[in-house]
Amino acid sequence: MTAAQETLARTAPLVDPFGRAISYLRVSVTDRCDFRCVYCMSEDMHFLPKQDLLTLEELDRLCSAFVARGVQKLRITGGEPLVRRDIMKLFRSLSRHLVAGSLEELTLTTNGSQLGRFAAELADCGVKRVNVSLDTLDADKFRKVTRWGDLDKVLEGIDAARAAGLAIKINAVALKGVNDDEVEAMIEWAHGLGMDMTFIEVMPMGDIEPSRYDQYWPLSQLRARLLDRYTLEDIDYMTGGPARYVRVRETGGRIGFITPLTHNFCESCNRVRLTCTGTLYMCLGQEDAADLRAPLRASKDDALLLQAVEAAIARKPKGHDFVIDRTTSRPAVGRHMSVTGG
């Protein structure tokens, strides 16, 4: 290859075998969390030894290599991303790609517990929108669902984020017998504060104590119920993620539906996921993964790393095969959501 061809190859967008361009990288910066949500983790989770984690500088180098290859959107997630020590250094350094115009969006998914401390600095780093996960507005239920969380602290975090000018999307996992009696109240609360509200189907990832079958509430049923009270208008609003949106005529706000079980949107998947140890998962619902830590550490130059990234994207599967029913007791994948992030 000539030098010019090599430069071209190093900057060409990443496209998988099904013609899907990879424009979105989600990065789990820690598998640790200050909550233990019942659908996400078991109570006595074992976490990775801290020395196995990539440094913040290594995470920056990996993200930057993806940005150089056409990734337009970076989502920092976890575990709880805001409990990783010095995490704002990573946001600060990645913000240079926003300034340079090579990255469209730097964002995060958080449980909100630390937003009070970090919202203003996130906004200063160019973050415009955050996803806050919140499954209930009832303080007792909140404690039961998160096992360790404090609702007031999360609500304070949301206030701080709003005051800092961040747009907020509330993400709630639809949970049978937990929040099925309050989805309308949550929608009206979120829309009253100008926030989008998205519901997510619980996914069979990692072993947990409760049965996922008992938790699973298909969004087709939730949506049918909303029609008793609201007029839902289909809109083509997209945020680059898997949610499909409607506008609620009565509130003027938006509701998103993430339906990996009842209707997957794998055909338009533009995402890959990186763990805090440098493992790249090409699909949330499949076990196949590629180690990027070894090529990252093998040389200061990114050539080996980019070769490994290209080889991984060439194996991105067509889609996932999540099933939750009475007879399927094993999770579809062994790892918990906190490993690859939401």
Residues near ligand SAM (CB under 6 A)? 33, 39-40, 77-78, 80, 109-111, 133, 171, 173, 200, 202-203, 205, 337-338, 341-342
Q: How far is the CB of 32 from ligand SF4 (least distance, A)?
A: 9
Instruction: Give the residue with the Cβ less far from ligand SAM, 316 or 336.
Output: 336
In the complex, least distance from residue 72 CB atom to ligand SF4, rounded to whole angstroms = 25
The closest of 130, 119, 128, 188 to 159, measured between CA atoms, is 119
Return the bridge partners of 256, or none.
Answer: 198, 245
Closer Cβ to ligand SF4, 140 or 228, answer by number:
140
Binding partner at 215 among ligand SF4, ligand SAM, none, C-beta below 5 to 8 Å by kind: none
What's the length of the chain?
342
> Smallest distance, Å, CB 312 to ligand SF4?
24
Q: Closer to ligand SAM by CB, 80 or 302: give it.
A: 80
Could you say which of ligand SF4, ligand SAM, none residue 279 binds, taking C-beta under 5 to 8 angstroms by partner kind?
none
Choose among ligand SF4, ligand SAM, none what residue 253 binds, the Cβ cut-off being 5 to 8 Å by kind: none
The helix/strand/coil state of 131 is strand
**231: Cβ contacts below 8 Å, ≥ 6 apart:** 248, 249, 250
Taking the least distance from each CB to ligand SAM, the nearer of 102 and 264 is 264
Closer to ligand SAM by Cβ: residue 81 or 295: 81
What distance in Å separates the CA atoms of residue 282 and residue 174, rounded to the nearest whole number? 25
Contact footprint for ligand SF4 (CB under 6 A)? 33, 35-37, 40-41, 78-80, 111, 133, 338
Distance in Å, CB of 49 to ligand SF4, minimum: 18
Q: Are 110 and 82 in contact (CB under 8 A)?
A: yes
**Closest CB to ligand SAM among residues 65, 276:** 276
CB of 175 to ligand SF4, least distance (A): 12
Which amino acid is residue 152, in one-letter code?
A: D
36 binds, among ligand SAM, ligand SF4, none (CB under 5 to 8 A by kind): ligand SF4
| Closest to 65 (Cα-Cα) out of 116, 109, 14 | 14
By CB atoms closer than 10 A (0-12, 13-18, 19+), residue 61 is middle
| Closer to ligand SAM by Cβ: residue 69 or 271 | 271
Q: From the list ligand SF4, ligand SAM, none, pick the one residue 171 interacts with, judged by a Cβ distance below 5 to 8 Å according to partner type.
A: ligand SAM
The answer to whether the beta carbons of residues 35 and 113 sit under 8 Å apart is yes
Could you tell which of ligand SF4, ligand SAM, none binds residue 22, using a CB distance below 5 to 8 A set by kind?
none
Helix ranges restricted to H, 37-138: 56-68, 87-100, 115-124
Residue 87 beta carbon to ligand SAM: minimum distance, rounded to whole angstroms: 12
* CB-closest chain residue to ligand SAM: 342
Structure tokens belonging to residue 114: 């630390």
Provide the minimum distance between the beta carbon of 276 and ligand SF4 in the complex, in angstroms, as a whole number.
12
Q: Which does 110 bind (CB under 5 to 8 A by kind): ligand SAM, ligand SF4, none?
A: ligand SAM
* Minimum distance, C-beta of residue 169 to ligand SF4, in the bound complex (Å): 15
Residue closer to ligand SF4, measured from CB, 76 or 296: 76
Tell me how far apart the alpha carbons of residues 232 and 220 are, in angstroms, rounded to a whole number: 13
Residue 135 burial (10 A CB sphere; 0-12, 13-18, 19+): buried
Residue 222 φ/ψ, nearest 5 degrees: -60, -45
**For the purposes of burial, counting CB atoms within 10 Å of the CB of 268, is it exposed (0-12), middle (13-18) or buried (19 or more)?**
exposed
Cα distance between residue 247 and residue 255, in whole Å: 6
* φ, ψ dihedrals at 179, nearest 5°: -115, 15
